[in-house]
């Protein structure tokens, strides 16, 4: 069990460019979550997958944001036409199916996005 991994760890981009982040959950975890954390704030929920189904999306997830989990394993989060306000740490977490809310969400190290 290698934990949740995220790539890249850091991304610097210019305003207007598209970026894509990847999250690999703990193997056999069927639930996957994306959060965004800005400086001095706690993480805020973005979206949640159970297997390949996207079950909930936050209002924070504007039309420029899209997340996928095509085979129920890894997930990608894409931001189109980035804005300076998108600069944040993007965190991914996963959880096994059997424990449900009895178990914690295991977080990855995050991808720090800086939009210039």
Partner 1 sequence: KQEVTQIPAALSVPEGENLVLNCSFTDSAIYNLQWFRQDPGKGLTSLLLIQSSQREQTSGRLNASLDKSSGRSTLYIAASQPGDSATYLCAVEGGSEKLVFGKGTKLTVNP
Instruction: Confirm if 69 and 49 have CB atoms less than 8 A apart.
Output: yes
Q: Does the footprint of partner 1 cover residue 48 (CB under 8 A)?
A: yes
Instruction: Confirm if 84 and 16 have CB atoms less than 8 A apart.
Output: no
Rounded-to-integer distance, Cα 91 and Cα 106, Å: 10
Provide the mask over 51-90, with x wherever binding to partner 1 is found by CB under 8 A and - wherever it is not. Answer: ----xx-x------------------------------x-
Q: Which stretch binds partner 1 (CB under 8 A): 16-24, 50-58, 66-74, 76-84?
A: 50-58
Q: Does the footprint of partner 1 cover residue 104 (CB under 8 A)?
A: yes
Q: Which residues of 24-35 are buried (b: 16+ CB within 10 A; e: fewer)?
A: bbbeebbbbbbb
CB nearer partner 1, residue 18 or residue 114? 114
Contact footprint for partner 1 (CB under 8 A): 4, 31, 33, 35, 40-45, 48, 55-56, 58, 89, 91, 93, 101-110, 112
């Amino acid at each position: 069990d290698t934990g949740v991994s995220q790539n890249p760890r850091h991304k610097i981009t210019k305003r207007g460019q598209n970026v894509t982040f990847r999250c690999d959950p703990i193997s056999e975890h069927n639930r996957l979550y994306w959060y965004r954390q800005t400086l001095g704030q706690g993480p805020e929920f973005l979206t949640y997958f159970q297997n390949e189904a996207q079950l909930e999306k936050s209002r924070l997830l504007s039309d420029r944001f899209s997340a996928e989990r095509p085979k129920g394993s890894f997930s990608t989060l894409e931001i189109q036409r980035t804005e300076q306000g998108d600069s944040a740490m993007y965190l991914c977490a996963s959880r096994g199916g059997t424990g449900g809310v009895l178990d914690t969400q295991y977080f990855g190290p995050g991808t720090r996005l800086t939009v210039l």
